[in-house]
Amino acid sequence: MSTPKPTIIDDKSPHCIPFILSLLSAHPPSSQTPFIIGLNGVQGAGKTTLVSALSSTLNARGLRTLVCSIDDLYLQHADQVSLAETHKDNPLVQHRGEPGTHDMVLARELFSALREGREVAVPEYDKSLFGGQGDRVDPKEWKVVNKPGEEKVQVIIFEGWCVGFRALGEEGVRRKREGASRTLGGHRVEDLLFVDGKLEGYEVVNETFDAFIHIDAEETEFVYGWRQEQEAALRREKGSGMSEEMVVRFVDSYYPAYELYTEALREGFFKGREDGEGRQLRLVVGRDRKVKEVIKI
């Protein structure tokens, strides 16, 4: 029996749009610094649909909104190959995906320019290049924002599956690995610590967020089933797609980050920040991708 094509219902924007508009109303109109939203979504839960609805609404209200994806900050192909070769015994960095495979120097340059209202080209990444290994698009083709005489970007939505993940430190990583998990026990501590150490560099982006949206799942392992549905649809419609076994291996390759860092997001991205209360919205979805619970943190 064929697997039905997954249907994404946008029941998330009715919660997220009022939340963001409320925070924006308290953002000084005279502020020259854009309002930056971090958005983390479990893969397959409807993140793309929400981002589209949110950006369209904000633009329609006269707030020039830029959507950036952490995927567009992946290392250039040659640098990813070099990273993999240098750490050939670490399966977590043999291909793009995990923290440590993004160019955080480029991220710092991008966010510094955007926050200062300077003209800047926004990076773009093409996952289809090099036979699916991916590479950065030629910079001449990048979209340029904040041009002279052009309205400045006022809102930035920075989205991605690992946005907001924060380093745990050696003790935290070891504690997670020693606890119950699906994938962590299959990785060496030093390999997990390598990724965790790289996450410290992601603070150049994390520290800029004014609001955070977390699309969570009742059970994180739903991501396996959602990806199976996506690939089954591709096999049916295009005649090609990952097999069920390939999907499991693919999800296994990035699932360790979920097991390490999701709990901290659930406790609160702004935890410990003086003005952080009420700046995070956590939407918990069920296996059907529908919102089951909404928590303001």
The yes-or-no verdict on residue 6 having pLDDT over 70 is no
Quote the mean pLDDT of the chain.
Answer: 93
Dihedral sign, CA of 198, 204, 207, 210? negative
pTM for the structure as a whole: 0.93
The yes-or-no verdict on residue 4 having pLDDT over 60 is no
The yes-or-no verdict on residue 31 having pLDDT over 70 is yes
Of 5-9, 119-123, 147-151, 281-285, the least confident: 5-9
Q: What local confidence, expressed as pLDDT, does residue 7 receive?
A: 52
Q: What local confidence, expressed as pLDDT, does residue 1 receive?
A: 44
pLDDT in tens, 193-245: 999 999 999 999 999 999 999 999 999 999 999 999 988 988 888 887 888 99
Q: Which residue has the tokens 């952490």?
A: 70
pLDDT in tens, 36-47: 999 999 988 989
Q: What local confidence, expressed as pLDDT, does residue 234 receive?
A: 84
- The amino acid occupying position 251 is V
- What is the DSSP-derived secondary structure letter of residue 74? B
CA distance 7 to 44: 10
Q: What local confidence, expressed as pLDDT, does residue 29 receive?
A: 66
If you average pLDDT over residues 174-184, what whole number do you get? 96
Helix and strand tally (H, E) in the chain? Answer: 9, 10
